[in-house]
């Protein structure tokens, strides 16, 4: 299996005055192409910091992060922004949809920054909303959609630029259990039927068990790994 992402001896140390607070302590972590991996841990375990590293939102204090063989720890902010736009699709707990745009426009938005022509953007956005079974709601704005529907719009948006990795941060955190199961079903479908690489960050063990492998974090390190 081709390794698509690798964290090698990654440390992240925050300075608070004269005090150094390590959030990650030599984290080693690999994801193969087409894997569905969960990163799980309690508050303070380092999982949010790990997500920021994987998502190219931050760089490590020391260590290496390879995305398709390129070390993002050595990249500038503008280079990181380009990689975020093309290689990683984000799904957030808060949905992060723009309320003044329709579902269709929200899904098409990431393609604007990749200079994809409008006709192609809208055609791809329609296709993705059909994929998440929201074709009949594409002209509705987020405030006219349920929480579960908004999260499915967010899933569609995460696929807009055909990313190498989908990074889902507590994607069911703001949903009731039934709606959360529906959203996880869509993520599993993307993994099983389309071969998407998915990294799920969660504190919830039931949600984590949708993945093929769980990395349990504690105090900035992998405490154990569990394959399903």
Q: What CATH number does the domain containing 153 carry?
A: 3.40.50.300
Give a yes or no: residue 199 inside a domain: yes
pLDDT at 74: 87
Give a yes or no: residue 111 inside a domain: yes
Label residue 82 by pLDDT band (50, 70, 90).
Answer: confident
Please determine, for residue 166, whether its predicted confidence score (pLDDT) is greater than 90.
yes
- What average pLDDT score do residues 133-154 get? 96
**What is the domain extent for residue 128?**
36-58+85-227
Give a yes or no: residue 1 inside a domain: no
Task: Output phi, psi for 28, to 5 deg.
Answer: -115, 130
Give a yes or no: residue 212 inside a domain: yes
Give a yes or no: residue 69 inside a domain: no
Predicted model pTM: 0.91
| Phi-psi domain of 199 (left: phi exceeds 0; alpha: psi -120 through 50; beta: other) | beta
Give a yes or no: residue 6 inside a domain: no
Give a yes or no: residue 17 inside a domain: no
Please determine, for residue 79, whether its predicted confidence score (pLDDT) is greater than 90.
no
Give a yes or no: residue 153 inside a domain: yes
Question: Greater confidence, 142 or 76?
Answer: 142
Q: Which residue has the tokens 């039927």?
A: 193
Q: Which pairs count as long-range contacts for 176-185, CB under 8 Å and 24+ apart, including other chains?
A: 176/147, 179/146, 179/147, 179/148, 179/151, 180/207, 182/148, 183/148, 183/151, 183/152, 183/155, 184/210
pLDDT at 68: 82
CA angle 214, 216, 219 (to 5 degrees): 160
Question: Greater confidence, 137 or 84?
Answer: 137
Tally of domains within the chain: 1
């Amino acid at each position: 299996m081709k390794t698509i992402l690798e964290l090698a001896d990654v440390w992240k140390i925050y300075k608070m005055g004269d005090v150094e607070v390590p959030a990650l302590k030599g984290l080693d972590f690999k994801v193969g192409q087409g894997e569905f991996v969960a990163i799980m841990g309690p508050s303070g375990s380092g999982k949010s910091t790990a997500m920021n590293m994987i998502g190219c939102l931050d760089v490590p204090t020391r260590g290496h992060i390879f995305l398709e063989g390129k070390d993002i720890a050595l990249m500038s902010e503008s280079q990181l922004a380009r990689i975020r736009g093309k290689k990683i699709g984000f799904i957030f707990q808060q949905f992060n949809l723009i309320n003044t745009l329709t579902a269709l426009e929200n899904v098409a938005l990431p393609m604007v920054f990749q200079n994809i022509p409008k006709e192609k953007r809208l055609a791809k956005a329609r296709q993705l909303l059909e994929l998440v079974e929201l074709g009949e709601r594409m002209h509705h704005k987020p405030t006219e959609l349920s929480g579960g529907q908004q999260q499915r719009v967010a899933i569609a948006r995460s696929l807009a630029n055909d990313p190498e990795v989908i990074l889902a941060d507590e994607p069911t955190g703001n949903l009731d259990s039934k709606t959360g199961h529906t959203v996880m079903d869509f993520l599993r479908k993307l993994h099983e039927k389309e071969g998407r690489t998915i990294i799920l960050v969660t504190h919830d063990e039931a949600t984590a068990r949708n993945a093929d492998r769980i990395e349990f974090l504690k105090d900035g390190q992998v405490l154990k790994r569990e394959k399903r």
